[in-house]
Amino acid sequence: MIRGLRGPVSVMPEIVEALADRRPVVALESTIIAHGLPRSVAAETARAVEAAVRVGGAVPATIAVLDGRIRIGLSDDDLARLVVDPPVPKLSRRDLPVALAIGGDGATTVAATMICAALAGIRVFATGGLGGVHRGAEHSFDISPDLEELARTGVAVVCSGAKSILDLPKTLEYLETRGVPVLGLGTAIFPAFLVQDSGLPVSHLCPDAEAVARVLRMRWMLDTNGGVVVANPIPTADAISADEMEALLASVLAELADQGITGPAVTPFLLARMAERSQGRTVAANLALIKANAAAAATIAVAYSRRPLEDQIIRRQPPLRLKPLRS
């Protein structure tokens, strides 16, 4: 049992122990499992991503909602319940309380996974790509709640940037306005998901995991709320070229408009169509980057868990006891 955790939340014993011992833990989301990957590879990918976290020296914590409970750590049977047709609902911040209230199942997006991770005291989270400001948002108002969550919840999200189907300059402007550091892990350029280089700068380059961990400590020393984006480009061997991506996008965006698809259905639709049009190459690239991000997140969680001595001394002091005023 994790101190202070109440309500419909279940955490796997291995994760409870790791958190109690202050060992590194990496949160993983479930929308990629339920909506972002073909069903044939989704469950095995989820396990492979967890394995990458373990190789990096951290404990994986895959997060979803099952039977109206937030579940942190999933069994094989739990995973199988997320890989179904029709898919389980995609849960973002607005949907989470409803799923818990009605006792439903659902896959958590980046935003909802951040909320659940923060509840359990997990500070580092790995995913594929962030949601962002959609193209045409000036008309549709479609801005992913992921960005707002990064502004308010204290979790670092290790990702390969955001998809080029989004409006990336506006996505970065939004993050800047809301005070979210966008750190490039070994890169000065914000990656564009399956494409290595968006041509846009990150806010700061961090040469390694230790440098990221130092920024995280300072971020949460200044304010315990608010997240950090850690952008890790897709490995070179798996990357899709910017030209090829533009061509793919032009066709799938046209189809999106033809079919009148909007709202939360947009991201799953685009991922599925791009996979078809590229004969599965976008899926292979997606798998590669998720695993690479899980490995990078583990090294960051390890670095973050080795807190400097001063920090540990400050935190070991007992909390102040406030006595009631005598009248």
- Helix-, strand-, coil-residue percentages of the chain, each rounded to 5: 50, 20, 30
Give least dist CB 109 to ligand PSU, A.
Answer: 3
Is 244 assigned a catalytic role? no
| Selected catalytic residue, list 14, 163, 255, 310 | 163
Cis before residue 86, ω within 30 degrees of 0? Answer: yes
CB 75 within 8 A of CB 23: no
Q: Which residues pair with 156 in a beta bridge?
A: 124, 228
Between the CA atoms of 11, 14, 20 and 21, what dihedral angle is there, to the nearest 10 degrees? Answer: -160
Per-residue tokens: 143: 């801005």
Q: CA angle, corner 46, sides to 88 and 241, nearest 5?
A: 100
CB atoms within 10 A of CB 252: 18
111 close to 145: Cβ distance less than 8 angstroms:
yes
The only residue of 24, 82, 119, 144 in contact with ligand PSU, by rule CB under 6 A: 144
Interface positions, 168-207, toward ligand PSU (CB under 6 A): 193
Cα–Cα distance measured from residue 323 to residue 212, given in angstroms and rounded to the nearest whole number? 40
* CA–CA dist 143, 183 (Å, integer): 21
- Exactly one of 271, 283, 290, 300 binds ligand PSU (CB under 6 A); that residue is 271
Q: Is 163 a catalytic residue?
A: yes
Q: Which residue has the tokens 């202070």?
A: 4
Task: Answer yes or no whether residue 109 interacts with ligand PSU by CB under 6 A.
Answer: yes
Question: Binding of ligand PSU at residue 58 (CB under 6 A)?
Answer: no
Q: How far is the CB of 128 from ligand PSU (least distance, A)?
A: 5
Rounded to whole angstroms, how far apart are CA atoms 53 and 61?
Answer: 9
As measured in angstroms, the least distance from the Cβ of 253 to ligand PSU is: 15
Which one of 60, 128, 154, 184 is in contact with ligand PSU (CB under 6 A)?
128
Q: Apex CA 146: angle with CA 29 and CA 223, to 5°?
A: 100
Contact assessment for residue 267 and residue 130, using Cβ atoms and an 8 Å cutoff: no
Taking CB under 5 A as the rule, does residue 29 contact Mn ion? no
Residue 68 CB, shortest distance to Mn ion, in Å, is 24
Residues 152, 178: Cα–Cα separation, whole Å? 9
CB under 5 to 8 A by kind: which of ligand PSU, Mn ion, none does 31 bind? ligand PSU
Q: With CB cut-offs between 5 and 8 Å by kind, which of Mn ion, ligand PSU, none does residue 35 bind?
A: ligand PSU
**214 beta partners:** none
Query: Which residue number, 35 or 219, has a Cβ lying nearer to ligand PSU?
Result: 35
Range 134-163, binding Mn ion (CB under 5 A): 142
For ligand PSU, the closer of residues 146 and 167 by Cβ is 146
Binding piece for ligand PSU, criterion CB under 6 A, among 50-58, 71-79, 138-146, 238-246: 138-146
Near ligand PSU by CB under 6 A: residue from 11, 24, 26, 31: 31
Choose the stretch contacting ligand PSU; rule: CB under 6 A; options: 27-35, 41-49, 302-310, 313-321: 27-35
Q: Which residues are catalytic?
A: 29, 163
Interface ranges with Mn ion (CB under 5 A): 142
Interface ranges with ligand PSU (CB under 6 A): 29, 31-32, 35-36, 92, 109-110, 128-129, 131, 144-146, 163, 193, 264, 267, 271
